[in-house]
């Protein structure tokens, strides 16, 4: 799902994994969601292209909802995940 920047969901926590490569972004996401509660939204910033595959699988496997994925021209990916 891709939306314009002015319609991005609000987030309860932001996680910047820029410059990190698989499996580090997913490992940091696991740590971040442990400190959050169901219904909260985690925004993840990533530069690893593998996250386009890994983040949706992370959400599906753990029962979270991927609200939004936006790819920027500079190779940055923004993910908004509502915890299940």
User: Is 59 a catalytic site residue?
Assistant: no
Report which secondary-structure segment, H or E, holds 44.
strand 41-46
Q: How far from the centroid of its chain's Cα atoms is residue 39's Cα?
A: 14
Distance CA(32)–CA(7), nearest Å, equals 24
Catalytic residue among 8, 20, 22, 28: 22
Active-site residue set:
22
């Amino acid at each position: 799902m891709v939306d314009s920047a002015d319609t991005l969901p609000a987030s309860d926590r932001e996680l910047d994994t820029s410059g990190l490569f698989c499996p580090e972004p997913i490992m940091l996401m696991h740590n971040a969601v442990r400190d959050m509660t169901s219904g909260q939204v985690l925004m993840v910033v990533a530069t690893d292209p593998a996250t386009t595959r890994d983040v949706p699988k992370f959400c599906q496997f753990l029962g979270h909802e991927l609200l939004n994925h936006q790819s920027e021209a500079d190779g940055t990916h923004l993910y908004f995940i509502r915890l299940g």
